[in-house]
Structure 1
Amino acid sequence: MALVLIFGCENSTKTKETNQNKTTNIKPITFSLAEEEELKKLDSLNLDSSYANLLSPAYNSEENIKEVRRSWSKLHQDLGKYLVEQNFNWGINDSSISLFNKIYFSEDGTIDYYAFKVITPSVSDDKVDEFELLLKEFSSEVKLDLNQKKNFAQCGKSRIMNN
């Protein structure tokens, strides 16, 4: 289960590519927002210029924004379920883990790029790395339940229950 907060993000998202993508370049490409080098790498892609912000009133109606929120929440709930299915353990006693996410989607809702940062400070770097591998697997298997007329992006904070 995940508690999801949605924000309209500006063009300031930053991140890092996983080691698998440096050699294979298979999508989705995941980024960790934890280090400055990774932030520069994501910025260099200039993705915000080609992926519309889903919560922008200029891009979506209020009715469609409700559908965006529903789809975004479901995606994060599914991620939480996936982590449980994979027997992932964060290695801490906190009841939930806070994340910041910015996800870039193709028109059909498949994930092209997934940028994230684990906000909960007690999570170890090793667990963040393990999470990133699972996140990449998850991202390659899911599709946002939302179709659009062009590539789109969404960002926000989420909270994943720590089982």
Structure 2
Amino acid sequence: MKKLLLTITFAALTIVSVLGQSRALTFQEAEKQGIPFQKLDSLYKSAIHSDATLAVFKTPDQQTELQHAYVKLLQDLGTYLRDNNFKWETQVRGANRIYMQPDGRIDYFLFHFPEGQLTPEKEQQFTQLLNRFIRNYRFAITAPEKFAQCSAVRYSDN
């Protein structure tokens, strides 16, 4: 039964990727839906790694290009949120892990905000806007294979 469930989960992940349906979810919601980050990590290679042979972006130049593209993504998201009247009202800390296709399309954008930083309504509004944002967003660089990038983040209205 467990093997069948893993096969079904893998098939569902493959279908979502093929259909290009980007999804923004909290880490907890992804877990509840049967797509925990550990499973995604087995399907997407790490963008950077302390062992360059395990990374998608191996050279210092590639890693710098990745860093610039990642900062651009976060800046573009901030602009999109602001343009859609989303206000953080205070600095909010969180973490994210983004899973991308080789062409830069985002498959999954998992995020976490520590308890008490956002009201449930504010988190729901963020999730809705983030889902709309990633639907058509293309990461500024491409790669030879699917990859994931994660970081701690600080969001604010500045």
The reply to whether TM is greater than 0.5 is yes
List, as ranges, runs of 4+ consecutive aligned residues in structure 1 with deviation greater than 3 Å: none
- The answer to whether 1:124 aligns with 2:116 is no
Q: 1:65 to 1:84 in 2, by over 3 A?
A: same
Q: 1:110 to 1:77 in 2, by over 3 A?
A: same
1:38 Cα deviation from its structure 2 partner: 3.7
Work out which of the residue numbers 99, 106, 113 in structure 1 matches 2:108.
Answer: 113
Q: Which amino acid in the other structure matches residue 123 of structure 1?
A: L
Percent of aligned pairs sharing the same letter? 28
| Structure 1: 5+ residue stretches without partners | 1-20
* Cα contact 1:51–1:151 (8 A) shared by 2: yes
1:44 Cα deviation from its structure 2 partner: 7.8
Whole-Å Cα distance in 2 between the matches of residues 61 and 133 of structure 1? 36
Listed as ranges, the matches of 1:8-157 within 5 Å are 27-33=21-27, 35=28, 38-40=30-32, 41-43=34-36, 46-56=39-49, 57-58=52-53, 59=55, 60-90=58-88, 93-94=89-90, 96-119=91-114, 121-157=116-152
TM-score with structure 1 setting the length: 0.74
TM-score with structure 2 setting the length: 0.76
User: By percentage of residues, which structure has more strand?
Assistant: 1
Q: Which amino acid in the other structure matches residue 103 of structure 2?
A: D
User: By percentage of residues, which structure has more helix?
Assistant: 2
Aligned length: 135
1:141 Cα deviation from its structure 2 partner: 2.1
CA RMSD of aligned residues (A): 2.2
